[in-house]
Amino acid sequence: MSLLGSADQTRLRTEFEQLTRPVHLLFFTQSLGCETCAQTRQVLNELPALSSRVIIDEVNFVLEPDRARRYGIDRVPAIAVAYAQIDHVSAADGSADSGDLVDTRIRFLGTPAGYEFVSLVQAVLLAGGGESQLSEASRQRLASVQRPVTLHVFTTPT
Amino acid sequence: MTLAHEMAFASPHITAYAVEATEHPDLARKYRVTGVPKTIVDNTIEILGALPEDAFIEQALFSQAE
């Protein structure tokens, strides 16, 4: 059963029509000792049904530690947002090749439910070629940042 | 949360984690999160509440003397 009502599904399907390239949601999970991995999977599974350009790449946190490290993931459930530059949807064979992904450095730790689901949709739209909502002044300010910076933004599910 | 994610998308040097506090109580404790949103920059700078875009960027990235 879907978590989203049919009106939300229709609205998201329309929004995802803007996607111009495949968005890969790398879902870091493990089968044991992760209370909320199943609910995160349930939320994520809503999305590929709404657009062929949203792809869930499940990564076993225990078996693929190198991949987790590469994306700076040290806990589960976690999501890293990436995109592919080659569009499999318009490719002749329709194959989804996730070999060459561009990392957006957008991460979610924990289940993106409630308001965070909105953030996840925004992240998908951005990664899929959507326009940044930042002002021109902000973008110029950000361009001057030359050192690595890590932001943790704490939220709650409501 | 979208603002921090937008910043990560715009700058190749910025990584932004949205952390669900109730699912990660150890992190919430570590950073003394008592209300949300709360932003931690490089484990040091704390920003409470939601700020306008320009103020948030200034506090998060330019408030420390280099």
Q: Which CATH number is B48's domain given?
A: 3.40.30.10
What is the domain count for chain B? 1
**Does residue A95 belong to any structural domain of this protein?**
yes
If residue A123 lies in a helix (H) or strand (E), which one and from where to where?
Answer: helix A115-127
What is the domain count for chain A? 1
Q: Read off the pLDDT of each residue in A65-70 and give the average, rounded to a whole number.
A: 96
**Does residue A150 belong to any structural domain of this protein?**
no
Nearest CB to B6; choose among A75, A107, A126: A126
Residue range B32-48, pLDDT digits in tens:
999 999 999 999 999 99
- pLDDT given for residue A78 in this prediction: 98
**Does residue A92 belong to any structural domain of this protein?**
yes
**Does residue A59 belong to any structural domain of this protein?**
yes
Confirm if A79 and A40 have CB atoms less than 8 A apart.
Answer: yes
**Does residue A156 belong to any structural domain of this protein?**
no
Residue range A108-153, pLDDT digits in tens:
999 999 889 999 999 999 999 999 999 999 999 999 999 999 999 9
- pLDDT of A2 > 90? The answer is no
Residue range A16-41, pLDDT digits in tens:
999 999 999 999 999 999 999 999 99
Please list every residue in chain A whose beta carbon sits closer than 8 Å to the beta carbon of residue B42. Answer: 149-150
**Does residue A128 belong to any structural domain of this protein?**
yes
Instruction: Tell me the CATH number at A91.
Output: 3.40.30.10
Question: Residue A88: which pLDDT band, with cuts at 50, 70 and 90?
Answer: confident
If residue A68 lies in a helix (H) or strand (E), which one and from where to where?
Answer: helix A65-70
- pLDDT given for residue B66 in this prediction: 47
Nearest to B37 by CA among B54, B58, B14, B16: B16
Q: ipTM value of the model?
A: 0.96
Interchain CB distance below 8 Å, B42 and A153: no
Nearest to A77 by CA among A115, A34, A119: A34
Question: Residue A83: which pLDDT band, with cuts at 50, 70 and 90?
Answer: very high
Range of the structural domain that residue A43 is part of: 6-143
Range of the structural domain that residue B31 is part of: 2-62
**Does residue A153 belong to any structural domain of this protein?**
no
Burial status of residue B39 (CB atoms within 10 A of its CB: 0-12, 13-18, 19 or more)? buried
Mean pLDDT in chain B?
93
State the best of B6, B27, B44, B63 to mutate against chain A, taking most chain A CBs within 10 Å: B6
